[in-house]
Amino acid sequence: MSIFTWFDERLELKKFKAKFLVKTFPTHPTFLLGEMALFSFITLVVTGLFLGFLYEPSTKMVSLFGAMVPSAYASVVKIDILPVGMIIRRVHHWSAMLMIAAVLTHLMRIYFTSAYRKPREINWLVGLGLLGMAMVAAFTGYLLPYSQFSVTATSIAYYVAKSMPWVGDWVSRLLFAGEFPSEGTVPRFFFMHVMLIPAVLIGLISLHLLIIVKQKHTEPRSNKNRKEAQGGRRLIGIPIWPEQGVISLSFYLFLLFVVVLMATYIPLNPIETYGPPSPGTPVMRPDWYFLPVYGFLKLIPGDLSFSVLGGKITPETIGGVIFPGLLFLVAALIPFLDQWKEPQYYIANPLHRPFMTSLGAGAGVFLCMTAVAGYIDVLHISPGRMTGYAILATLAAWSVTYTLLRRYNRKRGNNVKT
Amino acid sequence: MVDGIEGDKGEKAGITRRRFTLGVLIASAAGALGSLFAMLKVLVPEKKGGGYVTTIQPGDRLVYAKGGNMGALLQASSFNVGDAVLAFPSGKSSNPANLVQVIKLEEAEFKPPIHLDLTDRGFVAYSAICTHLGCTVSWVKNEKAPAASFTECFCHNSIFDPARGAKVMGGPAPIPLAQIGVKVADDGTLVFTSDFTGPIGPQVS
């Protein structure tokens, strides 16, 4: 009796295969972006396990090569000294960037192909939640090495949280375990980073995938004619196992190869260069995905504050809380503003949707311009002028895309409403 | 019939089983959430007074806050026009609110709203904590024209004019850095002569 038969008699593996592993996956290269995010998350969990065995979540001062430094900082320096320690830490950091990049491009794919339309509104919201939580995960990870960079970045976020009207004082003390820098902050961030946020992420990822299994994947438009010719309603694609499984596995192994290669050769977050916390703040910029908020904080005039219902709205609240909050709110509303009566099973061609596509192009250029605003000091552009450039570029991207797409569709005689 | 809809209809209290069960569920959920909220409150540490509270006293001597001379007394003779350093009051370097930037300029360059009486022989000192989001400010020295040097916070590029009482010249900082009195003592060291002229640290609330 083979091992397979032994397990099969108990777990009914053949039945499982017949029911789940033959599920159909529609194929399209961009359908791998979500998998890229999932695989990066797996890499993060595995490398995180390694780091968790060696990291010390405490700011008590200890001696390291004769200097007194916080023990969190000392433990990360010791990780870097290990034969593969620094590579693992860099794989962790690169994977975090890759995960957010993958989530963002996945979101763009969904947006531009209108795959958020009925019946997929719920999964669009779950996906936005995943993006938000991934960014919170990255942010809480910033603090853990407790370098000069970590402390400066977290301190800025602390004062942004504290600046919120009515609840700022309470929320900042809850999240940062007192007034930052307090000795409770690192243990609390460590718990959130390795336990709370990963748990929420795993929950949201499971929900995201369950909904896909229930609703089925959107299909490329080319499937429509083939399907009508067949007269069926069944999904056209390849089965999860072995076809899609093998593609996914080799894709993951390739990604891993690229990330390890980058981790080996490209320095990232060199905490030994930043040093432990000390007076003085060097020129430092956050990782790219926080650049829009960072740049926006530079653009807002310092005297732009007003009172509402006894609460003071400061520029810091506008740049650090209201601005990103509005971005997420607008994104969340998209499937409810672009409403469809009938369920949509096929992805749309972005060229056929001038209104939505041009809005997306405008939003993308706007975010890029606010990211560029993070560099006004090296570009020698004043905040006022940079604000002007950002508004102009956004309007230009939106109107030019819209006009061009309208013309494109008129020439082809396409009947395009929006 | 004991169970089911028939039984519900038969009750005389004017309340159906379904409504009663729903009420119990809502009440217990509210209780559970309320107790969770109480637990959340426990997670918020008590306020310690909060923010930046300086412990500088007039008469405190200034020492270097960083670099090779860290902890050594500042010597007026080691400054040229256009120089600036970060300094703490001697023995009080554990409180970040005590961090100041000491700058040497030409006295003739000082213009209002600087407090002239708090400067001495071109020496002027300001809080080194940016009033925007609490980073430490830096000194951008102009080698060709030392008097055109200025103070900048590298976090979000707020720029302060040291000759004009750290007036905000650009960037998102809401108010100037507070000035603090310094003078050159008889032995050539630098000594604080006053408290800060205004609020220090991030002005976020």
- A207-233 pLDDT, tens digit each: 999 999 898 888 888 887 777 777 666
pLDDT tens track for A73-122: 999 999 999 999 999 999 999 999 999 999 999 999 999 999 999 999 99
Under 8 Å between Cβ of A406 and A354: yes
Q: Is B38 on the interface with A (CB under 8 A)?
A: no
Query: Count of A–B CB contacts within 8 Å?
Result: 111
pLDDT exceeds cutoff 60 at A67: yes
| Residue A148 · residue A282 · CB < 8 Å | yes
Comparing alpha-carbon positions, the chain A residue that sits nearest to B204 is: A163
Q: List the single residue in A with minimal CA-CA distance to B153.
A: A281
pLDDT for res A232: 66
**Are B66 and A280 inside 8 Å of each other by CB?**
yes
| Mean of per-residue pLDDT scores for chain A | 92
CA distance B151 to A181: 25
The predicted structure's pLDDT at residue A230? 74
CB contact under 8 A, A302 and B158: yes
- The two structure tokens encoding residue A66: 């004769």
Provide the shortest C-alpha distance from residue B104 to chain A (in Å). Answer: 19
Paired tokens of A105: 């491009």
Q: Give B133's contacts in chain A (Cβ within 8 Å).
A: 155-156, 159-160, 297, 316
Q: Measure the CA–CA gap between B139 and B159, rounded to whole angstroms.
A: 10
Q: Is B92 on the interface with A (CB under 8 A)?
A: no
Residue A417: pLDDT band (50, 70, 90) is: low
Quick one: CA torsion of A43, A44, A49, A54, rounded to 10 degrees? 120
Asked if the Cβ–Cβ distance from A302 to B137 is below 8 Å, we say no
Quote the tokens at residue B133.
């989001």
pTM: 0.90
Residues of chain B numbered 111-170 and touching chain A (CB < 8 Å): 128, 132-138, 153-158, 168, 170
Residue A344, classified by CB atoms within 10 Å of its CB into exposed (0-12), middle (13-18) or buried (19+), is middle
CA-nearest residue to B87 within chain A is A279
Residue B1 has pLDDT above 50, yes or no: no
Of A152, A177, A179, the CB nearest to B50: A179
- Taking an 8 Å cut-off on Cβ atoms, the answer to whether A281 and B43 are in contact is no
In 3D space, the residue among B168, B163, B170, B130 whose CA is nearest the CA of residue B149 turns out to be B163
Give the highest mean pLDDT range of A186-195, B31-40, B93-102, B130-139. A186-195
A281 pLDDT more than 50: yes
pLDDT tens sequence across A35-60: 999 999 999 999 999 999 999 999 99
For an interface test with B, the pick among A297, A317, A322, A379 (most B C-beta atoms closer than 10 Å) comes out as A297
For residue A261, the model assigns a pLDDT of 95
pLDDT value for A197: 97
**pLDDT at position A25, please?**
85
Give residue A409's Cα distance to chain centre: 34
Compute the distance between CA of residue A369 and CA of residue A388 in angstroms, rounded to an integer: 10
pLDDT in tens, A229-263: 776 667 888 888 888 899 999 999 999 999 999 99
Which pLDDT tens digit goes with each residue over A307-353? Answer: 888 888 888 899 999 999 999 999 999 999 999 999 888 899 999 99
Beta carbons of A299 and A315 less than 8 angstroms apart: no
In tens, the pLDDT along B21-70 reads 999 999 999 999 988 888 888 888 877 766 788 888 888 888 998 888 88
Question: Which residue's entry shows tokens 């169970």?
Answer: B3
Q: DSSP class of residue B116?
A: G
Q: Is the separation of the CB atoms in A262 and A43 below 8 Å? A: no
Q: Using beta carbons and an 8 Å cutoff, which residues of A are at the interface with B?
A: 152, 155-156, 158-160, 162-163, 168-170, 173-174, 177-179, 182, 184, 278-284, 294, 297-303, 305, 312, 314-316, 319, 376-377, 382-383
Tell me which chain B residues have a C-beta less than 8 angstroms from the C-beta of A278.
Answer: 66
Choose, out of B47, B157, B200, B204, the residue to mutate when testing the contact with A (most A CBs < 10 Å): B204
Distance from CA of A298 to the nearest CA of B (A): 5
Q: ipTM value, please give it.
A: 0.80
Considering CB atoms only, which of B45, B48, B136 is closest to A280? B136
Distance from CA of B38 to the nearest CA of A (A): 13
pLDDT score of A385: 93
Q: Is the pLDDT of residue A175 over 90?
A: yes
Chain B residue closest in CA terms to A163: B204
8-state DSSP, B141: -
The secondary structure of chain A, three-state, reads CCHHHHHHHHHCHHHHHHHHHCCEECCCHHHHHHHHHHHHHHHHHHHHHHHHHHCCCCCCEEEECCEEEEHHHHHHHHHHHCCCHHHHHHHHHHHHHHHHHHHHHHHHHHHHCCCCCCCCHHHHHHHHHHHHHHHHHHHHHHHCCCCHHHHHHHHHHHHHHHCCCCCHHHHHHHHCCCCCCCCCHHHHHHHHHHHHHHHHHHHHHHHHHHHHHHHCCCECCHHHHHHHHHCCCCCCCEEHHHHHHHHHHHHHHHHHHHHHHHHHHCCCCCHHHHCCCCCCCCCCCCCHHHHHHHHHHHHCCCCCCEEECCEEECHHHHHHHHHHHHHHHHHHHHHHHCCCCCCCCECCCHHHCHHHHHHHHHHHHHHHHHHHHHHHHHHCCCHHHHHHHHHHHHHHHHHHHHHHHHHHHHHCCCCCCC
Phi and psi torsions of A211, nearest 5°: -65, -35
Q: Is the pLDDT of residue A399 over 70?
A: yes
Residue A118: count of CB within 10 angstroms of its CB:
14
Among chain B residues, the shortest Cα distance to A161 is held by: B204
Specify the pairing of strand B158-161 against strand B150-153: antiparallel
Specify the range with the lowest mean pLDDT, choosing from A69-73, A324-328, B152-156: B152-156
Mutation target vs A (from B157, B158, B160, B175; most A CBs, 10 A cutoff): B157
Contacts of B134 in chain A (CB under 8 A): 155-156, 158-159
- Provide the pLDDT for residue B50: 64
Instruction: Please give the pLDDT value at position A146.
Output: 95
Question: Which of B86, B137, B204 is facing A314, going by the closest CB pair?
Answer: B204
Which tokens hold the place of A342? 């009938």
